[in-house]
Structure 1
């Protein structure tokens, strides 16, 4: 768990910059981070190798991409189906908020273990000075564990201002999503959650993270219409539709609320975390965000669900204490494995690949939901889903062309440099920064 150190140095506040200035800056990846080296060095290396080695490298990356996408599918689909079974009529464990808080505790422990065994993923802000020299070396009397925790020391002010808002938005997103499984089908949940892009764009415009363009307005309007189509209640045919699949209005509001929190979380991530020296990779981000998410969800769970009701639930007798704890922690492990796959997928996949893979994953979720839970969708629902996917593809294409134009402008500006400058290295750096920025935006969208 990260240490809150009120007396430690506070990192530069983002409040001195306008949102428009913040978004124009590239993510502050440190040159000395070996994790960033792994993420960004391969394309540059590939440009300096022979065609044969490049072909071999491309084949290897293609294999890696397939493996990580399959892992992403496996763990993501498992989480969705498992949570629906746990909080729906399957297991009927009626405490989604409290259980989700335990998931976050599990994520904190697992991310801490990875950071313990993989030092290159740890933040270096507390271990190196401005010249890159290692400081605060542990003394002989200092235990390795205490030394390990000191690496994650962060001021209370910095944590509350830069990380806690993301924790609150993430807690709202995940908490509302899991509560909604009590009221609506997994298929409807998946369709409505795809509308997160609409809230991403709205909050992006609100916080000036997005430059207004008529295409963005059209995308939002189309998405709004598709949501209306997706929530239209199918007509019952005999007993084909269960009560739970009957498009419960409260459940729909919960999912839309979760989608809104997803958009807010994405905006906070853009403003607060991309330039935060403590959260330069997914594992480190989980380690810093999960404790406050756990505490927030736990407090809300105590208020809305009640600790005594939770401990007196019949499932403790049916499954036993050990079995129940295992059932509670399994989704946390699945979520962490999914994050690892996403983390590795970032380093090998293209933006368009991520977008198409994400859409196909949503389709697989709906198909499996129909096969496992018997979900039924009307023609209007399916048409609304199709329009949503087309809208998402349009948005990603718009972003892809926008990034291409920015990259071309970067090349053009580099051509005007003095010949004594290292143009090849500068071009490579510019290209890699652009790719990294696009991939991070894409994976954030996938997490929505």
Structure 2
């Protein structure tokens, strides 16, 4: 029994390290590739579409060769449940990646940390949570921390801020819609695994992202933002290869995340996420020279306190429910 527990602990530690590394690497990769002061690959929507396309191919290969069954949905269920969830996920990722073209990685990370606020707000709307004083206190704490961060940001960009805030709102909506999707499914646990959900959502995300890219970015119409990356076959292949590399990073991060949640809990992932945010912000200062003011530091500390309060609430809720 002790050896089994020890083996599980080692696997969970491996999942944490894998998620930690690839999550941090993906943040640095995205900023380096899309930052206007760096590689300036100003096609975040196209890149997001390529990532989702990679996820679609890989999840289908996993499902096929592992002989895993997936939940089947009627046309009505598909368009009422899956499509809105996939669109919300696509909007989140597109806005998040687009914001990195305009704002610093540290500012992006701190504003994106407001996601628990939107998770709770949409939880109230969906009926998953009831408004309580402690939850309102958590929301207020995180909002105050984000306000301090915004007020103290030396390189504030309105468009970039709106994009990353939209990503945080869409993230809160997506998680609640995913929870609703998983709860309302009628199949067994194996059929409704996160990988199976990813199997259904990835194609919707790919189509949504590609459509947005073709309408907004027009990557193949020799726009100033894209002509350098697609003016020859060699450059086109290299650009696709670079974007595909990010898709593989994102997929490995997601798989490690799923196994971590399966082996421990979402609380473990959230706590690891707090330390990851601190590491990403530190790297953004060291690598990109991001400037942090006193108000920015204060906002970060206040937001972390709020996130810890949120995680503590979720932990005690799960513990009470188990009892």
Contact 2:45/2:209, CA 8 A, preserved across alignment: yes
Bigger proportion of residues as helix: 2
Match of 2:51 in 1: 103
Deviations 1:113-167 (A, max 9, x none): 1112212x332x5xxxxxxxxxxxxxxxxxxxxxxxxxxx643222101111100
Q: Which entry has the higher C-alpha Rg, 1 or 2?
A: 1
Match of 1:93 in 2: 41
Match of 1:203 in 2: 122
Deviations 1:186-207 (A, max 9, x none): 1110111000111111111122
Q: What SS does the aligned partner of 1:316 have?
A: coil
Deviation at 1:234, TM superposition (A): 4.4
Match of 2:271 in 1: 356
Number of aligned residue pairs: 316
Give the TM-score taking structure 2 as reference length: 0.92
Match of 1:157 in 2: 76
Q: CA RMSD in A?
A: 1.9
CA 373–312 in structure 1, closer or farther in 2 if over 3 Å, else same: closer
Higher relative contact order (CA 8 A, sep 6+): 2
What is the alpha-carbon distance in structure 1 between the residues aligned to residue 292 and residue 138 of structure 2?
Answer: 24
1:281-430 correspondence runs (5 A): 281-306=193-218, 307-309=220-222, 313-317=227-231, 320-408=235-323
Contact 1:101/1:294, CA 8 A, preserved across alignment: yes
Give the TM-score taking structure 1 as reference length: 0.67
Deviation at 1:351, TM superposition (A): 4.8
> Is 1:176 aligned to 2:95, yes or no?
yes
Which ranges of structure 1 fall in alignment gaps of 5 or more residues?
Answer: 1-53, 126-152, 236-245, 409-448
Which ranges of structure 2 fall in alignment gaps of 5 or more residues?
Answer: none
Match of 2:178 in 1: 269
Contact 1:162/1:273, CA 8 A, preserved across alignment: no
Q: What SS does the aligned partner of 2:184 have?
A: coil
